[in-house]
Amino acid sequence: MEYILGVDGGAFKTLVRVADLSGKPLIETKAGSSNYKSIGSELAKDNINKAILEAIYKLNNSDVTFRSACFGMAGNNTTKDKDNFKDIIFNNEIKCYFNPSKTFIYNDTRIGLAAGSDNKNGIIIICGAGSNCFGINEQGKEAKANGWDYILSDEGSGYEIGRKALRAVMKAYDGRGDATLLTKAILNELKLKNIPEFIEWAYSKGNRKDKIASLAKVVCESAEKSDAVGIRILEEEVKEVMDSIKVVVKKLDLTDKNFDLVFVGSLFKCEKYFKNILIEKLKYNFPKINFLPLIKKPVEGAVKLALMNM
């Protein structure tokens, strides 16, 4: 029996949805991360297999074929990435279920945009632990900016805000920078007593990107208490997000056209000094812009794209 498959392969989890040929959802399963850059190809493959095979098992059908399948994969940014994901996805355990000519592998921003907007002119901006901006216009042209991960390009992200906050604490400690509420707030958040413990925490092996990114909420809270350093950090990152959106708008020739902007990510919970400022700047630059929070799951966008390309 034929089905539709949508996969949201994120940095922290892999979500799989199986639908019938009309798009009606039937089964949803999940497993761990499938971003091979973070966890390696073998574990990424194992997690994808686990989620898909569990979904197939739950269908309780001995003859399962996916007429069309769409994968939205975090970390899928280059031609080499796409080739690597093809190798990961078309592995011996699950490749028999796919039609290769109807199996589509995108970046996860593509399925997020499909989930959030039906407009032929649309852009998605992600400001969570990481940051990314992707868009497509009515001619089918695609464009992206940022999203090259935390070493090369992750401006406008929780990680970048957290990293700047850590450095602001050390600048204040040295006397190279202004005193800031961030010092006490971050020590409290991390349950540390003093700066020497803070330094040890910063270089501990278990200190991962998401831990630093989680400090963005502390920056937001400090800014709302009128901390000048926190406000400045957020203002700088708003500018970075604006620059990413402007580049994508220009590449897609949408400056004077009606288009949707789908926004997603934990940073948009920081309203006064991040979300509201960004929205005002965008309204000024692009009068015909429509703002849409991402309400649906990105995996719904994967199913939608699979149906469109069935």
**Each residue's pLDDT tens digit, 173-231:** 999 999 999 999 999 999 999 999 999 999 887 767 888 999 999 999 999 999 999 99
- Please report the pLDDT score of residue 207 as a whole number: 66
Tokens of 106: 């995108």
User: Closest by alpha carbon to 232, among 285, 157, 165, 166?
Assistant: 165
pLDDT digits (tens, 9 = 90+) for 259-310: 999 999 999 999 999 999 999 999 999 999 999 999 999 999 999 999 999 8
For 135, the enclosing helix (H) or strand (E) is strand 131-136
10 has pLDDT over 70: yes
- Rounded to the nearest 10 degrees, the angle between the axes of helix 158-174 and helix 228-251 is 150
Q: List every span in the chain annotated with CATH 3.30.420.40.
A: 2-98, 119-294
User: Closest by alpha carbon to 294, among 262, 259, 260?
Assistant: 262
- Please report the pLDDT score of residue 210 as a whole number: 81
CATH code of 2-98, in short, is 3.30.420.40
Check if the beta carbon of residue 27 is closer than 8 Å to that of residue 18.
yes
pLDDT digits (tens, 9 = 90+) for 133-182: 999 999 999 999 998 878 888 899 999 999 999 999 999 999 999 999 99
Check if the beta carbon of residue 205 is closer than 8 Å to that of residue 270.
no
CATH class of 119-294: alpha beta
pLDDT digits (tens, 9 = 90+) for 15-72: 999 999 999 999 999 999 998 988 899 999 999 999 999 999 999 888 999 999 999 9
CA distance 279 to 252: 20
